[in-house]
Amino acid sequence: MRTLTTTRLALPPWHPRFEEDLCRLSADPRVTRYLGDGRPWDRERAAARHGEFLAHWREHGFGWRAILLRDAADESAIGVAALNRLPRPVPGIDEPAIEIGWWVDPRHWGKGIATEAATAIRDEAFTDHRAARLVALYQPANHASGNIMRKIGMRHHDDITGPYDEDVRVYVLERANWSVMPR
Ligand SMILES: CC(C)(COP(=O)(O)OP(=O)(O)OC[C@H]1O[C@@H](n2cnc3c(N)ncnc32)[C@H](O)[C@@H]1OP(=O)(O)O)[C@@H](O)C(=O)NCCC(=O)NCCS
């Protein structure tokens, strides 16, 4: 369970000390606007997800990571970068598939932080975990997230309906395409 580092960021595996950060981030409606039902999470929902993040690491040896600024005075998470087993099947995607995702504290939007974290965990998935492919899902109005998927080399796969009856766009990066990308 190693911490990934990039030029500006440290991405440690999820840890009990990040529960308060998850509560803070997920209570912000700007963060949850395009996640599932779009509603901010109450403490109970955040605590349940926090437990799932820790359990995913124990079960699979990879999972959600906190995004920390390496030059920050404190160690609070300013976001979340996720590699996780796809929670439900997507038509045309072979199982087991790994999903990639990201959230950043709105105070830090627009500085390339999500793209920097996404690039690091994309490479972790293909090198450390020998992923066959990566899958990412976003609601079509979430243009920033779609931009990140394209910037890290993902391609449009399908448009589906999510569990809350929401429109969801599916992007995929196959190992064969990743392996020939300039890095
Ligand atoms: C999506 C999110 C993680 C992006 O974080 P970020 O650190 O600001 O992203 P980056 O700075 O790396 O920018 C990503 C790209 O999106 C673009 N972008 C940012 N905000 C945008 C917006 N409102 N509309 C269109 N494009 C936008 C950026 O310009 C950049 O593309 P570019 O390099 O081609 O200019 C952030 O908005 C967020 O946390 N949203 C809430 C959680 C969420 O929806 N997560 C994704 C679920 S699928």
Pair 97, 135: CB distance under 8 Å: yes
Amino acid making up residue 96: P
Q: How many Å lie between the centroid of ligand 1 and the Cα of residue 27?
A: 19
Domains of the chain as residue ranges with CATH: 4-179 (3.40.630.30)
Task: Encode pLDDT of 49-76 as tens digits.
Answer: 999 999 999 999 999 999 999 999 888 9
Q: Alpha-carbon distance 78 to 29, whole Å? A: 15
**pTM, two decimal places:** 0.96
Specify the residue for token string 């990571």: 65
Task: Encode pLDDT of 83-106 as tens digits.
Answer: 999 989 999 999 889 999 999 999
* pLDDT value for 74: 85
From atom 3 of ligand 1, which residue's Cα is the shortest distance away? Answer: 103
Q: Which helix (H) or strand (E) holds 161?
A: strand 155-161
Token pair in block for residue 75: 């160690």
Residues 6+ apart with CB under 8 A from 113: 8, 9, 67, 78, 79, 104
Confidence of residue 183 (pLDDT cuts 50, 70, 90): confident
Q: How many Å lie between the centroid of ligand 1 and the Cα of residue 147?
A: 7
